[in-house]
Structure formats: structure tokens, C-alpha cells
Amino acid sequence: MRFVYKFEVMTTECEVTLLTSDKIQADSCAKAILSEAKRLEKKYNYYNPSSYLSQINQRHIDKLDSETKSILQRAMRYYKLTDKIFDITVATIKDLYTKESTKEALHVSKEELLQHVGCEHIKIKKERISFDNTFTKIDLGGFVKELAVDNAIKIIKKAKITSALVNFGGDIYALGRREDGKKFRVGIKNPQNPNEHIKYFELENEALTTSASYERNYTIENEIYSHIISTKESKKEVQSVTVISRSCVESGVYSTALMIDPQLQTKNKTYII
């Protein structure tokens, strides 16, 4: 049987489809997935001043728990692997896009803060995190939602469910196959018309994420800025990048980075528009 659960986490519409004959098992599993996603949302909410992440950014906390240490170290590895494109410290300039009202003010403020952007400004030694300045901030928004999907799959596997589809706002993992024995079929939106699909992929035990320029953006003096912020200039005009890999975090990192540099080397399957 197919059990479908819908909820909202991290301002994102989420859907979990579980294929099992046991409704009690499915209900329990879905409840655990929602609880875990809510936990991550609360702990790493960049915009909540009382969240664990905000306490780190405010320098109120410098001792990391094992989970956060692992997440940060993993993010910093991806920073190196993506030639410093995937950067959790772009949060240092992120707020300027909503704070400044003119392009000139944005430019001036950005120039002042750019020297503090980069994972080189963070050091993790044993369980302690330190910054070499007071300005560098961390945002895990491009990491935690994907982590929530990967954790959902761990919960599903632990529940002995072998077939499922987890979709957190387009961050997707397909576990096993459908009831008919076929792979899960996932559509990619057309950047020119998001109401239609331009391509379909068949997935089995794989994650798929898509980053796109049309989804969200900032507007200052009628100029549109992508929500994907980078200190590097985009090497090519890219509308949409889809990456398929073995984990949602991996797919999310590279779909974001390839929006900036579509020539970036990766072993994962990619579809660039």
C-alpha cells in the first residue's frame, strides 16, 4: 500500500510517500521524519536569534556538539571540493540584499564585508569553533534541508521500509522502487515555464536536487539578484541545474555550485539548462 504524508518544514512543502502494508508502521515512521526535520529547523534556523546556529554567529557559543561539528566540517570540505563556491559563510553578506535599498549602498557594504567571507575565517579545534573576526557568519540553509531528507531515509530504513519517496521542496530521495517494480519517475521543471516539466529522470536509491535562478531572488532598484549568492562571478548564464547522487546533501551542494560554475568537475550526473 502507498501512504502519503504532507507537511511544511523550513518554509517548504514536504511530501513523504511510504510503500508498506503496515499503516501503523508508516504513521510512526512519518511522525519520526517530521520530528527530526523540525528539530533540525529549530536548531539551525539562521533567522531565529535564539537558535543554536545564531548563538554561534553571535559568538555566545563556541563549544560544538558532535552533530554540528560534523556538519560544519563536511560543509568546509565541500568548500574546498567546489573551488570555494559552496560557501556557508556567504551569510556574511547575505543580509545586505534585504537590508540595503540602493545598488550603491549594497556595493559599498559588500566591499567592506567581502574580506570576511570564506571558510578560512573559521577554525575548528577539537570541540571548539573560533572566528578570526567579528563579522563572519554561517548559514546552513543550503545544507540542512538536504540533510533532513538524508536523515528521513535513515529513519525509513531503520523502520524496515524498503520503498519510499521523500520530497522536501524539490530535494528528493528515491528509496528502492515503486509498487509495480519500476523506478521512481521525477520531473524537472522548465525554467521558462515552471508549470510544465522539461525532462524526467528515473531514480532508485538516488537523490536529486535542482537549483534554479527563477525560484527566488532579491530586487534592489529594479535590478534582480539571484538568491544563490557567491563571491565568484558566474562563468555562464545558467537557468537550472539538476544533480543526481547518492545523498541529498551531495546533490544540493553541487546543484548550487554548478549554477555559478557549470564547468566545475563532479562525478555525479548533471543536467544543466
- Quote the pLDDT of residue 234: 72
| Reported pTM | 0.94
CATH of the domain at 53: 3.10.520.10
Contact 207, 248 (CB under 8 A): yes
Which residues constitute the domain of residue 216? 2-272
Helices (H), the chain: 23-43, 52-57, 66-81, 91-94, 96-99, 103-113, 144-158, 248-260
- Quote the pLDDT of residue 214: 67
DSSP label of 267: S
Positions in the chain whose pLDDT score sits under 70 = 214-216, 224, 227, 233, 235
Q: Which residues lie across from 189 on neighbouring strands? A: 197
Cα separation, 178 vs 196, in Å, equals 23
Number of domains in the chain: 1
The angle, 0 to 180 degrees and rounded to 10, between the axes of the packed helices 23-43 and 144-158 is 150
- Quote the pLDDT of residue 220: 80
- Quote the pLDDT of residue 222: 74
Contact 141, 54 (CB under 8 A): no
- Quote the pLDDT of residue 231: 80
- Quote the pLDDT of residue 215: 62
Contact 81, 267 (CB under 8 A): no
